[in-house]
Structures are given as structure tokens and as C-alpha cells.
Chain A
Amino acid sequence: MWEQIRSNRRRSAFVLVLMALLLGATGGALGILVAPVGGVVGVAVALALFGVLWLTAVAQGDRLFLALAGARPIRKQDHAVLVNVVEEMSIAAGLARPPAVYLVDDPAPNAFATGRDPRHAAVAVTTGLLAVLDRDELQGVVAHEIGHIKNRDVSLIVLAGVMVGAILMLGELSWRLLRVGGPDSGTALRLAGA
């Protein structure tokens, strides 16, 4: 099992490096399209865009995500079984402290974990999930979510998502620049210079 985890980590790192190269290449290609010598500027713009998006996601991402899902924080007296199960699974995983527990008013059974690292993590489950699962089954679902927290899967997904977002934004930007600035207008050059 540990071998598998190690090889998965290596693959994740490989994919991320590949994606970072793609982001840089997209920026560079865009810069060159706008102006023949703009390659370096393009790469810098791509990295800056990524940096801003990533810092925002790390600082605000989990709260934004929980708010979007309509999750509200609960305490022991609101749902003793859920809070107990989360604490039990945190002990089993050897987390320094259990994640915050959130409830989503939604009849569809679902659960997710969020947070940039185990110290700032949260687990959210829907009321529908609590309705259909007994204690042992709930324990299984929560164990899965705690596994995401312990493995820091969320920060990996955020990093990958932000890179894809940055590449998409660059694509959009270049498409607009090239459309506005036709071969004979020079708008694109002026935009790039501004």
C-alpha cells in the first residue's frame, strides 16, 4: 500500500510539472504571437496570473467552496453521531486535531473534504447522507474524506485547478487579442505594449 502511495505521489508531481511547462509555453506562445520578441513577457504574465489565482485560492478557496455548497458549521449538540465519527476517524488517521464539521441541507447523499492542509481542514456531509447511512456506513464515508485531508489531496486539486484556469484565461485573452487586432490594425501590438 505504501509503495502505491509513493508511486502516486511521483506521478502527481510529474503531471504538475508537465502542466506548469504547458502554462509557461502557452504564455510564451501568446507573447510571441502578439509581438515577435514578447515571449519572455508572455511567460512572466502567465506565471503572474497563476500566482495571483493560486494565492487567492489558498487564502479564500475553502471558505468560498463551503459557502457555495451552502454548508454550515455544526457542533456536538447539533449532531453528536457525526461529530463523534469525525473525531474517531481523525484519531485513527493520527491527525493532530479533528477537522471542522459542516452540514449541507441537501437530500442528495454526498460528502466532501476541503482545506489547504490538515490544520485548516473541514469535512462536510449532506443531510441526505445522514438520512440513508447508519453509524458504521457513515464511518466509512468520513474515513474516506479524512483520507483526502491526510493525503493533502485538496491542495493538489486546487493547484491543478488553478493551473488549468490560468491556461484557459490565457487562451481566452489571446483569442480576444488576435481577433481585435487583425493583421492590418495593430491594436494587438498596442495592447501588448500598454
Chain B
Amino acid sequence: MSEICLSIVLAYAAWIGLGVLVVLVLFFIGVYNGLVRARNESRNAWSQIDVQLKRRHDLVPNLVETVKGYMQHEAQTLERVIAARNQAVQARGPAAQGQAEGLLGAALTQLFALVESYPDLKANQNFLGLQEELTSTENRIGFARQAYNDAATTYNNKREVFPANLISGSFEKAELFEIEVAAERAVPKVQF
């Protein structure tokens, strides 16, 4: 009598153990796939920044070409923009890239500040079109960086929370984008 009871209990225990195992395996698969998905999304978001930076690199020569005829006295500024652009194109690795892009941004800001004293240039349709494209490109770069940081934070959260952190050892932490040039972080000084 008690042997029958025992065998029934053992059968139940076996089934429950099997069920727990299946649930654990399914859970593990879900967590693992979620990590892979989040990592790919964060990598994709990073490459989107490069797409927008390329856009800026392509625009700068056009801009300088259009502006050159009007701004003969600003050759030095234009040369600085071109040099910064070429350096940015050649920069490799996030740190060097971030610094070069920061310098290019600063050079462009200086150029557009000088444009204010050339009314003819400000009325040129070609220039206005390029200015809009450059404004949009600056925005795109900023928003692409923001989207990357969002995706990277989502991924980092996924790999660090318990219990995912038990199996996420092979998933490297995503670095957030941060401003490389200290001058870029400082509030610009305006003088009249």
C-alpha cells in the first residue's frame, strides 16, 4: 500500500522536476535571445551615427566651394574647416573620431558666425540650401547619438539585471557616447 503511494509521489515529483526544467530552459532561451537582439540594435544605432557623419563630410566641400567666392578675406577660416574635415574623415576609433568631429563642428560654427557679415552670401539660394542641409545634418548627428545612447542603455540594463547577469558574461558592456572635446561641453561665450 505505502509502496504504491511512494511510487505515485515519485512519479509526480519527476513530472514536476521535468516541468521546472523545461520552464528554466525556455526562460534561458528568452533571456539569451533578448540580449542578442538588444546588442544588435545598439550596434545598428552606432553605425547610424557614422552614416550621418559621412553626410556631414560630404557636405563640407560643397559648402566651402559655394562660400569661397564671397569670403576671400576669410581664407584662413575656410582652410581650417577643410583641414578639420579631412582629419575627421581619416579619424579611426571612437575616441579619435569624437575629437575630430568636435573640432570640425567648432570650425563650422565659426564659419557660420562669419557669414553673418556677408549679406550677399546670406541671400544666395545655393548657400541657403546648403545651410539647411548642414543644420539638418548637425541635428541628425545629435539625434543619432541620442538614439545610440538609448539603445546602449536598454542593452546594458538587459545584461546587468538579475538573473540575466548570470549568463551575460560573454556580452560586453556597451559604451555610451560622451563629448570628447571639453570645449564642446562648455557654454559658448557670446560677446557684443
Interface flag for B177 (CB, 8 Å): no
Contact with A along B142-168 (1 / 0, CB 8 A): 011011001100000000000000000
Contact residues in A for B150 (Cβ distance below 8 Å) = 94
Contacts of A59-107 to chain B: CB distance below 8 A:
80-81, 84-85, 87-89, 91-94
Q: With A94-B147, A94-B151 known to touch, is A87 a contact of B140 (CB < 8 Å)?
A: yes
Interface of A is mostly: helix
8 Å CB contact of A84 from B45, B136, B147:
B136
8 Å CB contact of B140 from A80, A88, A93, A94:
A88
8 Å CB contact of A91 from B48, B129, B132, B135:
B48
Interface flag for B139 (CB, 8 Å): yes
Interface of B is mostly: helix
A118 to chain B, nearest CB (A): 14
Whole-angstrom CA separation of A92 from B140 in the bound complex: 8
B58 to chain A, nearest CB (A): 15
Contact residues in A for B147 (Cβ distance below 8 Å) = 91-94
Contact residues in B for A81 (Cβ distance below 8 Å) = 132
Interface flag for A6 (CB, 8 Å): no
Residue of A89, A91, A135 contacting most chain B CB atoms (<10 Å): A91
8 Å CB contact of A88 from B48, B129, B143, B151:
B143
Is the beta-carbon distance between B139 and A88 smaller than 8 angstroms? Answer: yes
Is the beta-carbon distance between B140 and A91 smaller than 8 angstroms? Answer: yes
Is the beta-carbon distance between B132 and A80 smaller than 8 angstroms? Answer: yes
Contact residues in B for A135 (Cβ distance below 8 Å) = 135
Contact size range, B: 10 to 19
Contact residues in B for A87 (Cβ distance below 8 Å) = 136, 140
Whole-angstrom CA separation of A85 from B129 in the bound complex: 14
Q: Which residue of A lies closest to B151 (CB)?
A: A94
Contact residues in A for B151 (Cβ distance below 8 Å) = 94
Contact residues in B for A85 (Cβ distance below 8 Å) = 136
Contact residues in B for A88 (Cβ distance below 8 Å) = 136, 139-140, 143
A81 to chain B, nearest CB (A): 6
Contact residues in B for A92 (Cβ distance below 8 Å) = 143, 146-147
Whole-angstrom CA separation of A87 from B48 in the bound complex: 13
Is the beta-carbon distance between A84 and B143 smaller than 8 angstroms? Answer: no
Q: Which residue of A lies closest to B132 (CB)?
A: A80
B126 to chain A, nearest CB (A): 13
Q: Which residue of B lies closest to A143 (CB)?
A: B143
B57 to chain A, nearest CB (A): 17
Is the beta-carbon distance between B129 and A80 smaller than 8 angstroms? Answer: yes
Whole-angstrom CA separation of A155 from B14 in the bound complex: 46
17 contacts between A and B (CB under 8 A): A80-B129, A80-B132, A84-B132, A84-B136, A85-B136, A88-B139, A91-B48, A91-B52, A91-B140, A91-B143, A91-B147, A93-B147, A94-B45, A94-B147, A94-B150, A94-B151, A135-B135
